[in-house]
Structure 1
Amino acid sequence: MTTQTIKKNLTVKEAIESRHSIRKFEQETITKEELTEIFELVRLTPSAWNLQPWRFHVITDNQLKEKLQEAAYGQKQVTSAPAVVLVVSDMEDVIAHLSETVHPGLSPERQQEEVANLSSFFSGMSVEERGQWGLTQTNIALGFLLTAIQGLGFASVPMLGFDHEKVKELLSLPEHIKFGAMVPFGRQASEGYEHHRFPLDKIVKYH
């Protein structure tokens, strides 16, 4: 049975408390304006040194979603959702464009110093190490994405159960990128499970 569409513009508290992983979605197109509204929020995600290594690939083409479903071992939420976002980290692109991450309010000398320091820091890492470092930052953006989706009246389900190499091939992504998640989303057409979370005294320690 179709559930009532979540109202738009939930508070942060409402969005977090109401978010569940949803695997069946209404067959309702998400507009370009709605997608833009989501990603205008997500791009404000903070990151170390403002490097912003996250990149988002939004798939709405039905044939491509069918191929993604195959790569996700047949999980039906991939084709049920009107849109699927691949959240990836691309640190090699960041390294190639470090000057774009430096705040324009700094003096030219300070900007050059920042680029030099960052280049030196990351040149001491392997491509794999840089990729893993960038993924820790990209996971922050994943949290922002899930909250923005929910807060603007949609539902989602984050996934890592898919063949990463096959998805790279389907989207012509470079080998070095790291996946944060595959996120099908849309208007929910089913209820998620009730929250089952650890109590605070297990996850929060005060010192």
Structure 2
Amino acid sequence: MEKVKALEATGSDFSTFRHTVIQRRRLRPDDVEIDIKYCGICHSDISQVEMINQTRQPLVTGHEITGIVKSVGKSVTKFKVGDRVGVGFFVDSCGECQYCRSGQEQFCERGVVSVFVGKDYDGSQRQGGYSQSIVVKDRFVLSIPDNLGLAEASPLLCAGITTYNPLKRYGIGHGSKIAIIGLGGLGHIAVQFASKLGNRTGALRK
């Protein structure tokens, strides 16, 4: 196990954060260790912090993670030390059920493992990206192109994919018409994605 510094929430608001030390597992053959450079603040992080008084368990949140590969397991071929990478909300799944095989790990029959909510398959509590480093199965690590800054890429790991996925899934392209309801954190990213796809966009506000 490797000890790393982290920020831990101990109560139901962000004023309760404190410095702490957590343990990351030793590298498994298919693991990637990432030196974290940036981690966004998503509403899901805020929601989990607000629930701490109910669970009474301190928590290291953060799931819009970007950084540099620090080390890789012996079976990892897609990544090497020094690569620019990112990690989103999911960090493991069984990899064998019908959903995992079809690329829909969020429906994993065994139960998908999230970056900080709940426990890993080995029973250990997951801890998120407000820390120095993280160890993640290689299937859940994403490459970040050199022309995209790590800070700018960070929110794309949750807010970005949440809006990009339906555009991609339903074949939105040139000539399509879409409606974006609300121009908050996700809405303005959706507008940018749609404009890059050559779409006409409409924004509706309640």
* Alignment TM-score, normalising by the size of structure 2: 0.22
Q: Point out the structure with max Rg over C-alpha.
A: 1
Higher relative contact order (CA 8 A, sep 6+): 1
Higher helix share: 1
**TM-score when normalising by structure 1:** 0.22
